[in-house]
A and B are shown apart, each in its own frame.
Chain A
């Protein structure tokens, strides 16, 4: 009797120990995140001011300077990438949700899965050969194409999943009224699922806003202010990478400021996605 009692106590103790260990391990993951936030904010906040946002980087050895070229470049590159990826992604998502069992849908879904797993550096190589080598110049638009390729799977998935959640009766009612197929999709189904689709779009922007590897051989970087998308262009992640790996303290300062801006941007986009998906329960 005594021995079984002791055994029982040991089992309960073991259960409690396991629980404690799991809780400690689970919350330990928050530490690096907090450490990164804390450090970036601490280093970045003192560098950011109006001058930092509107002026160009200074040559080594001079104090001050800003990241206007990278901010403009990042905005333009991401904007162009969205213009390319959003229509294609949404239409592909519509096809997949409308045709669940066709052979093309199977291969298309497989292709989207594959595309999602392609390493970002490989995307850079591909676009280098498809666009940069053909046009013989690094250009912002090729960077946008590379980023668009990475946005595509996220938009396709979120559109497909959102549209699948809509009840069939909605579509049947619209068809029964005699609406043609394309209007049923574009005027009834898509507006109903718009917040799910939009949150997928925002999430995809958040994912690619910080991508560096695909831009290394496409947008390439540019120390001057440039708004021509057919010329090389600087972007925030590229600037951070180039300046962080340089040996100069002034450039590190610029990179810290840029990191804080990039981090804020990406996190804001993620929080917006969180708020919109809460309503939709879409799994992205």
Chain B
């Protein structure tokens, strides 16, 4: 309907142009300039939509091109190499890969029970009312706090607490380390899975729940056997988005993880993640292989988070369309 209108005005304008009997009055000229503007406007829209696509492609290409020297020089050894020693030109990303994976998954394990509890509480137990409104807004504020503030707070509050805990457990009391980083990350990623989970739990059809209730199921049984299986894929998407967020998080992790390029021996030992090593060493990297191996890590991070995010978004889209 709306699309059809546009060509009509356009053709009308052309017809006016051709008919000699009509003089080019002011109104006609004005409508011509309007039509011209219309064309410019439309092509601007297309151009901008196109430029967003180009930006993303350019990001990928830039990362690939800049990391070529290290890909060529090191190949697969880069991922498997266990030592990172820029002074003697040995670059192995394995400690950082492990550090990133451990912190992210540990954070995920800690945060998932909480975010699912929030999702079920807000989606099923108390979908309405001031209390749930309040909790919802408070949870969203968790995502709003800048990560550098999390890091700062972590250094001065969480690190001493963890140090005390480590002294009690009889381990070397670093305070900083993978466990501390995971704790901070866990707090930071709770809102992502929680708000998405709340949406999908709300979307469970009440007919299904009522059917289960009428068969005599208790509330817990309804949640366990009806709500969660139905919302399964949406909850999974929430976990994926949280994971994507945890993998790429830089500042808070950098400040509390200890920044030492060794393969962590336990969850309490200091470590390094891919993002934190880039943040720490990028401006110092003078040598081209050094720099490009840092960028290769950025490329890896980019590809992994993109895949995770796109899969997560796809699942959400499928869920909301059903």
Residues of A within 8 A of B (CB): 11-12, 14-15, 18-19, 21-30, 32-33, 35-36, 39-40, 88, 91-92, 94-96, 98-99, 104-105, 107-108, 110-122, 124-126, 128-130, 149, 152, 156, 168, 171-172, 175-176, 178, 180-183, 185, 206-207, 209-213, 216-217, 237, 240-241, 244-245, 252, 255-256, 259, 262-263, 266-267, 270, 274
Contacts and interface: CB of A to CB of B under 8 A. Distances in A.
Interface of B is mostly: helix
28 contacts: A21-B117, A22-B121, A24-B117, A30-B138, A36-B149, A88-B52, A94-B45, A105-B49, A108-B53, A111-B53, A115-B55, A117-B244, A117-B310, A119-B250, A120-B248, A121-B298, A128-B282, A129-B66, A175-B6, A180-B9, A182-B42, A211-B146, A213-B251, A244-B155, A244-B255, A259-B149, A263-B149, A274-B137
Residue of B59, B113, B141 ringed by the most chain A CB atoms within 10 A = B59
Interface in B17-59: 34-35, 37-38, 40-42, 44-46, 48-53, 55-56, 59
Contacts of A92: 45, 48-49, 52
A236 B152 CA distance: 13
A12 B216 CA distance: 11
Contact of B301 (A88, A119, A175): A119
Given A27-B135, A95-B46, A266 B146 contact: yes
Contact of B278 (A18, A112, A125, A262): A125
Given A129-B66, A217-B283, A270-B141, A121 B275 contact: yes
A72 to B, nearest CB: 18
Contacts of B207: none
Given A91-B45, A121-B278, A181 B310 contact: no
Contacts of B115: 29
Contact of A26 (B66, B117, B150): B117
A284 to B, nearest CB: 10
